[in-house]
Amino acid sequence: MASLSLVNVCKTFKNGQIAVKNFNLDIRDQEFLILVGPSGCGKSTTLRMIAGLEEISSGELWIDGELMNLTVPQKRDLSMVFQSYALYPHLTVYENMAFSLRVRNVGKTEIDQRVRKAADVLCISHLLDRKPHALSGGQKQRVAIGSAIVREPKAYLMDEPLSNLDAKLRTQMRVELSKIHKELGATMIYVTHDQVEAMTLGTRIVVMNSGVILQAAEPKVLYTNPINKFVAGFIGSPSMNFIPVWVERREERICVEFSKNRLFVNEECAKRLIEGDYLGRRVYLGIRPEDLHETGTKDQELKLHVEIKEVLGSEILLHGKIGRSPVCARLKPDFPSEGGREVSIFADMSRILLFDME
Ligand code: ADP
């Protein structure tokens, strides 16, 4: 397996479109690295430059200490799995998986061993004689992953491999991919725009926007300490609520105020606000739906005007407004609430985040 380094990598397309700017990242051996961000932010272009399918405009790509900028894709020893399954329709599952080994003149016995081992890992041993047309979407995707696994490459590159599957299969395959990663001890670089996939699969996540890295960190760090409002809003589902508030001093304590609501911050946060010279200024209060609760003290109380209640089974999502700000709260299903009513909910003040206004 491999470690990779991207140093100041940039990509400008012939039409002048700048897709990736000064991308700097060290990818460690056996990492499950996720590139995530909204559509068009440069994820696929970054992956394709690593694969060698797209020329690097400037900067350096190193794989295991070797400069790879000009190395042809076949010589990089990487396997790519695409969103479309890219299977040969006239070949059986076995032959599809064996194909890349045959063209590399790997011996028959070795091919057989590798194909059967990969099929076993992916639970598709019973499908080896079928042709792609007789497979479901999920099975096809397993075969595509199997074709990548048999090559035993230095690293796997995956571009939204699950996005053609239905929701249930996607969840199943997510778990499978995690297992495969552990079992193979593989270095994986995985592109997705789905933050749930990013959070559940990644050992580290790179959040991109407009061709640049905003933050690269472990999932938990991204969730608890997002570097800015964009990352905070991108990670988490439903996404974080942002409410414009004033930072004030009241009753000898520091609070944030908005539309008749007043929340007192804890000591650590108060210190941060005073030192950051935030008193009297307007900031965004960031609070996640799961950090709003049914009970609490007056210091944490918010008045939510309920518009819609979504019942999810073990919990509900209350969508409404606090003042003029749209807010969503994830609460227990027995919480008394109906559309049109005003209810009190309580913010976990140890979990709030404050962001500068742009
Ligand atoms: P993502 O994978 O995050 O959706 P891409 O890497 O595909 O984003 O694209 C990044 C930007 O580069 C987008 O603005 C896209 O339109 C542009 N782009 C991608 N491929 C080409 C190309 N071959 N020629 C010109 N612009 C391109």
- DSSP type of residue 130: -
Find out whether 52 and 109 touch, Cβ atoms under 8 Å: no
- Residue 97: predicted pLDDT: 95
ipTM reported for the complex, 2 dp: 0.99
**Architecture of the CATH domain 27-56+66-234:** 3-Layer(aba) Sandwich (3.40)
- Work out the angle at residue 210's Cα, subtended by the Cα atoms of residues 206 and 213, and round it to the nearest 5 degrees: 25
Q: Which atom of ligand 1 is nearest to the CA of 42?
A: 6
Ligand 1 centroid distance, CA of 54 (Å):
11
- Reported pTM: 0.91
- Residue 340: predicted pLDDT: 83
Ligand 1 centroid distance, CA of 171 (Å):
27
Domain boundaries, the chain: 27-56+66-234, 241-356
Q: Which atom of ligand 1 is nearest to the CA of 38?
A: 3
Tokens of 154: 């230095």
Nearest CA to ligand 1 atom 5: 42
- Residue 86: predicted pLDDT: 82
Tokens of 67: 């400069």
Substitution site in 34, 44, 210 for ligand 1 pocket (most atoms within 8 Å of beta carbon): 44
Q: Which atom of ligand 1 is nearest to the CA of 159?
A: 2
Average pLDDT for runs of 10 along the chain of length 358: 93 97 97 96 97 97 96 92 86 95 92 92 92 91 90 92 83 87 91 92 96 97 95 92 95 90 91 88 95 95 94 94 95 87 93 88
Strand partners, 212: 209
- Residue 62: predicted pLDDT: 97
Beta sheet of 325-331, edge-to-edge order: 292-293, 342-347, 301-311, 316-322, 325-331
Burial of 314 (0-12, 13-18, 19+ CB in 10 A): exposed
Rounded to 10 deg, the angle between the 167-184 and 108-121 helix axes is 130
Kindly report the number of other CB atoms within 10 A of residue 217's CB atom: 19
- Residue 295: predicted pLDDT: 95
Substitution site in 17, 20, 158 for ligand 1 pocket (most atoms within 8 Å of beta carbon): 17
- Residue 1: predicted pLDDT: 67
**Fold category of 241-356 in CATH:** OB fold (Dihydrolipoamide Acetyltransferase, E2P) (2.40.50)
- How far is CA 338 from each of CA 38, 290, 306, rounded to the nearest angstrom? 34, 19, 7
Distance of CA 145 to the CA centre of its chain: 20
